[in-house]
Structure 1
Amino acid sequence: MIGRNWFRPRPRSEEAPVTDLFSGDETRAPSFQNAVDAIPGWSCHFPVEYGLSAGKLPTFDDPRITWAMERFGDLSGRTVLELGPLEASHTYMLAKAGAHVDAVEANRLAFLKCLVAREILDFPNARFYLGDFVQWLEQTETRYDLIVASGVLYHMRDPLRLLRAMSERADAIYLWTVIVDDDRLAPSATQRFEGLDMRLYARGYGDRSVAFCGGSMDFPNWMHRNDVLAALRALGYEEITVLDDIIGTAGNTLPTFSVFARRRPAEG
């Protein structure tokens, strides 16, 4: 099990200054690499056939997204909402499978990276929007065939609000998130949700930099594994499939899981 202090909030440092992206001229011969180099702090590695130097994560061929697409079925012509596309690697996979993707990203640098990735990889059936995806979910009247939320739930101050908002926009959702799986850990708070008591665990971010991939607000609340599943069942999702995994960060091994959830569409 993970040590009892692994969720303890950490003090937030001053954000590192970001180079002015729009000053000066590029003096090298035009290339895709120039566009990548213009934005600092890439996390993901472009498909190897492009020969580009960016980040290290091989998420343009992510087995978690492949797994989710296999659970859903044929995406040709389907509408997908992606929350927090980061650098458009998962957007690329979804669009390549034939989906029409709306991708909403709050981080300005990540949004610009998504635009660069789309220009390089040329997937026109995706639109990127800069802003808060919870407000998008709560204000749009659009219903989607699938919502993809990889790496966002554990960055939310109110993760239950996000789950409810997602449930109102799609009958099929995919989540990948860090979770709490140790029943010995005392929650920071509990929240009543659909008649159930949900445990919340406050988590602070460490130092931020231009490569920061977290949420827009400090002190998000993580959820217990069992509570995520209970919340989805309470929201009417009958088909729930789980794929457990772990990630290693800063000397800790954090429990994570992928969840594909689907419910029968409402009649009429």
Structure 2
Amino acid sequence: MSKVHQLRGSLVEARRELRTRGVEVDSDSRFNLDSDDGFKFIPRPAGSGSNYVEPPTPAPSPIASFHVLDSWISRFDIDGESVGGQVDLSTDERITWLMDAIGGVKGNRILELGPLEGAHTKMLCEAGASSVIAIEGSRASWLHCLVVKEIFELSQARFLYGDFNHYVDQYQGPPFDAVLACAVLYHQLDPVSLISGLSRLTNTVLVWTSLADDGFPKPAMEVEVSGYRGRKMNYHEDRNLIQNYCGGVDQEAVWLYHDELLRCFADNGLSRIESKPIERPDWGGAPHILFAASR
């Protein structure tokens, strides 16, 4: 996902460049992350006089089904052909490392938060998970997930549309063997409540997330949530500029500092931490961490 984050970091500069050329970027204009050159400007849509013509219906095939939806972020291989976006998440080393950290997921019941387009779900199913409930808050991404489920026959997976915070709060069923929370904590307005909720329904949480530090998020706005320190992030600019925005359902979020994040997990009984070192992207992005927290 580093490429996605890097491209997002270029959007402000791209908007300024367009304006210097006399191109107005307003609320009806977007950038698309899955173009060949990284991102492309999409001006406001044409009016009612558009000459759009529905393309001819192709012969049935998995690739034809895949092309029903556009604006993909994830790249998939189908019958030797690469389709979709620019980011290969179907062989994501983060997910491989997390699964290895807990001895694999064969036979496990997994709850996945924010599956995006189902690439990580596909990895979990192919690794032997007995069931995966994946909850996606973006309507477009949820539809992409359904296409991926059908094409790759992910019979163990069930994709639900909505805010997973409500699901976690109201869940009364049997515990999950693990929860995958990859690239979701730093999109939460109240990550502390989410972590507390997850500790009620599993003994293991698999995490990849960005962290607050002296340089991120910008501008600096120190906050405290239920006794845990962090910094507030505003996603307003991303939501307005990126056509296929794939963040959380809230405009604002709280990023916790590293020690505060791990303390929050420990305070909720998930104190056994197997972690990779904090990484700082060479392109200047926010620090992030990959870890498994268990009881």
Structure 1 residue 169 displacement after superposition? 1.2
Instruction: Look up the match of 1:245.
Output: 279
Structure 1 residue 49 displacement after superposition? 5.1
Instruction: Look up the match of 1:176.
Output: 208
Q: Distance in 2 between matches of 1:55 and 1:200?
A: 31
Q: Distance in 2 between matches of 1:167 and 1:13?
A: 42
Secondary structure at the aligned position of 2:285 is classed as: strand
Distance change in 2, residues 1:159/1:13 (3 Å): farther
Decide whether the 8 Å contact of 1:40 with 1:211 is kept in 2. no
Structure 2 unaligned runs (5+)? 1-8, 10-24, 31-43, 47-52
Q: Distance in 1 between matches of 2:45 and 2:170?
A: 32
Q: Distance in 2 between matches of 1:223 and 1:73?
A: 28
The answer to which of 234-243 and 26-35 deviates more is 26-35
Q: Distance in 1 between matches of 2:143 and 2:57?
A: 21
Q: Distance in 2 between matches of 1:246 and 1:48?
A: 33
Structure 1 residue 35 displacement after superposition? 2.4
Structure 1 residue 173 displacement after superposition? 0.3
Instruction: Look up the match of 2:76.
Output: 46
Instruction: Look up the match of 2:223.
Output: 190
Instruction: Look up the match of 1:9.
Output: none
Instruction: Please point out which of 217, 227, 232 is paired with 1:201.
Output: 232
Distance change in 2, residues 1:253/1:231 (3 Å): same
Distance change in 2, residues 1:126/1:184 (3 Å): closer
Distance change in 2, residues 1:224/1:39 (3 Å): same
Instruction: Look up the match of 2:255.
Output: 222
- Greater Rg over alpha carbons, structure: 2
Structure 1 residue 166 displacement after superposition? 1.2
Give the partner amino acid of 1:52. S
Structure 1 unaligned runs (5+)? 1-5, 7-11, 264-268
Decide whether the 8 Å contact of 2:63 with 2:78 is kept in 1. no
Instruction: Look up the match of 1:101.
Output: 132
| Count of equivalent residues | 248
Decide whether the 8 Å contact of 1:203 with 1:222 is kept in 2. no
Structure 1 residue 209 displacement after superposition? 3.3
Decide whether the 8 Å contact of 1:33 with 1:52 is kept in 2. no
Root mean square deviation of aligned Cα: 2.9
Q: Distance in 1 between matches of 2:71 and 2:262?
A: 34
Q: Distance in 2 between matches of 1:74 and 1:177?
A: 21
Decide whether the 8 Å contact of 2:228 with 2:264 is kept in 1. no
TM-score (norm 2): 0.75
Instruction: Look up the match of 2:161.
Output: 130
For the pair 1:235 / 2:248, whether they are aligned, the reply is no
Decide whether the 8 Å contact of 2:176 with 2:201 is kept in 1. yes
For the pair 1:213 / 2:246, whether they are aligned, the reply is yes
Instruction: Look up the match of 2:111.
Output: 81
Structure 1 residue 131 displacement after superposition? 0.9
Percent identical among aligned pairs is: 28
Instruction: Please point out which of 128, 145, 164 is paired with 1:114.
Output: 145
Decide whether the 8 Å contact of 1:102 with 1:127 is kept in 2. yes
Q: Distance in 2 between matches of 1:156 and 1:197?
A: 14
